[in-house]
Structure 1
Amino acid sequence: MATIRRLRGRWQAQVRRKGIAPRAKSFDSKADAERWARNLEAELDRCGNLPDTRLAERMTIKELFERYLREITPQKRSASSEAYRIKAMMKRSIAHRTLAMLTPQHVAEYRDERLAVVASSTVIRELNSLGHAIDIARKEWGVHLAQNPCRLIRRPKPPRGRDRRLALGEEQKLLDAADSGRTPWMRPLIILAVETAMRQGELLSLTWSNIDFEKRIAHLPLTKNGDARDVPLSSRAIAVLKELNATSTGEKVIATTQSAVGQAWLHLRDRAGSSDLHFHDLRHEAVTRLLERGWNVIEVATVSGHKELRMLQRYSHLRAEDLVNRLG
């Protein structure tokens, strides 16, 4: 049994077992001392010896994230967005807790507090970052924890996938709005997005060496999921690419940045009367059009790059009225 006693104004918990060096730790509250002793005794019963929990008792969530940012985040394709997210989390109250004292209740309280101010998708990403950082600390950094508290709570329900389709004549309105703007690359960018189902980042990373006009293939050497893929090009996409190639002076197919596209898109969609349309909706539209042409999901996934058919289902928005004729 553990011994809990008052010592010099604090509560000390001590765990003793025959044949094992005793472990003791002081806390501000009796409840914290009892919790620490219970966890230590449970681990002793499970594995037969007293684990070295000193690193977990010293390391705060903030210190965990600092090491994670140095060693793990730079290896990811999403490094910049994850770094931004983690640095924001390091400023919140949960970051001051040590790993040893972090409980599922603390994580659940953090989840609920964040859900009151941000979307569930944001909270899911934050919990994923925290959970993965704790997993790395347990498996690779010698931080002993009996369990990862992030794995013991309910995750927020993911938001429903958008089902925004282009209305009749809306694509032409977007192209007309692009023609009336000051950014000549928006028109080809819209057409290529609808014709290829490529992500905006993939389109902007295309170089002329990636385009095979003879085979009508665009090669993407690195995509969001980390794999390369080849995208077949329609006659309309080939025509747009040949027009761009005729006036191109650099290696990039579309020589601009995502930031510039973001600003231009906001103005363009307002001129077209499509203020609720996201650029990514063009990818949704492209995927759905392929399905409507009779392509099966494996063929569409080959073009779009989706690894999970469950995710592809979220992107495909077939209209019920378009399926009526198939019923006979």
Structure 2
Amino acid sequence: MKTLIKVVDHYLKVNEELGHLNPTVRYHSSPIRSSEIGAMQFRTVKEQDLREYCSKRLLSVSAATVDGELRLIRRALEHALGGTRARPARNPAQNVRIVADKRQPPTITRDQFECILAALAKKPAIRALVDLAVETKMRRGELLALLWEDVDLDGGKAHLRGTATFAPRTVRLSEKAVAILRGLDAPYYRVSHISIAKLRWAFEAACRSAGLEGVRFNELRYFADRVSRSDEAEKS
């Protein structure tokens, strides 16, 4: 009988073949692979096993990270267990939920953003992704999964394919975003060859140089929103 990690790997393989796999989702499989629950026969996994796994993980990583791992397990089990719409198979992960940290995450100011860019001066590929995140309001996983064939530089738009987490959508590219993309040295089918781990490490280090702790990459989307609202208010 298949173990839970084999079920997860099969789910990832199927979604990769369909072109629906976000690199962030594969990242979530690593801790499952090295855990006791990953070695369990998937049909023997109980709700309590998943709750214990989540509790242990929360001691060392954020609630958002554990929630991503749990979502992956839930979807992999749904895929493996099958069932019908009338009689769905019972999924032990269905009722397990992560209670998110209610503390407000730190926000980025304009001055701090400039400090982050300065800290990344010797890492142009990382800096370009940070600039693109602000210009396009794309998520980290969307940026890392973006393919050149889905980018229309002349038309000023990029198509983001649907993933296991996000629905497909089209993003308008500003003149600055187009310039950044044209300047990328990425002769690959993906726009960026940077791994999620390398991006996270470099961004967190740059944030620390700006006096920020606990800031996640996707905060750049909200920073971009605040800047846009502020600029519009000044114009009016």
| Superposed pair shares fold, TM > 0.5 | yes
**Change in CA separation of 1:128 and 1:237 when aligned onto 2, cut-off 3 Å:** closer
Deviations, residues 127-156 of structure 1 (Å, cap 9, x unaligned): 54555555555545xxxxx9555446x633
Shift of residue 282, structure 1, vs aligned partner? 1.2
Shift of residue 167, structure 1, vs aligned partner? 1.5
The answer to which structure, 1 or 2, has the higher relative contact order (CA under 8 A, 6+ apart) is: 2
**Change in CA separation of 1:74 and 1:269 when aligned onto 2, cut-off 3 Å:** same
State the AA in 1 paired with 2:140: Q
Counting matched residue pairs gives 224
State the AA in 2 paired with 1:173: C
Counterpart of 2:11 in structure 1 is 72
Counterpart of 2:86 in structure 1 is none
**Change in CA separation of 1:116 and 1:196 when aligned onto 2, cut-off 3 Å:** closer
Shift of residue 197, structure 1, vs aligned partner? 0.7
Aligned to 2:206, the other structure's residue is in SS state helix
Moved beyond 6 Å, runs of 4+? none
State the AA in 2 paired with 1:257: I
Pair 1:83-2:20 in alignment: no
Bigger-Rg structure (1/2): 1
Give the TM-score taking structure 1 as reference length. Answer: 0.50
Aligned to 1:240, the other structure's residue is in SS state helix
Q: Which runs of 5+ in 1 are unaligned?
A: 1-58, 141-145, 295-321
Aligned to 1:238, the other structure's residue is in SS state helix
Structural mapping, 1:69-218, within 5 Å: 69=8, 71-76=10-15, 77=21, 80-89=26-35, 91-92=36-37, 95=40, 99=44, 112=55, 115=58, 119-125=62-68, 127-128=70-71, 131-132=74-75, 135-136=78-79, 138-139=81-82, 148-151=91-94, 155-160=97-102, 163-179=105-121, 181=122, 183-206=123-146, 209-218=149-158
Distance 1:253 1:129 in 2: 23
**Change in CA separation of 1:212 and 1:106 when aligned onto 2, cut-off 3 Å:** closer
- Aligned-pair RMSD on alpha carbons? 4.4
Give the TM-score taking structure 2 as reference length. Answer: 0.65
Counterpart of 1:269 in structure 2 is 207
Counterpart of 1:53 in structure 2 is none
Structural mapping, 1:279-318, within 5 Å: 279-290=217-228
Conserved 8 A contact 2:33-2:39? no
Q: Which runs of 5+ in 2 are unaligned?
A: 16-20, 84-88
**Change in CA separation of 1:268 and 1:82 when aligned onto 2, cut-off 3 Å:** closer
Aligned to 2:170, the other structure's residue is in SS state strand
State the AA in 2 paired with 1:170: Q
- The structure whose residues are more often strand, as a share, is 1
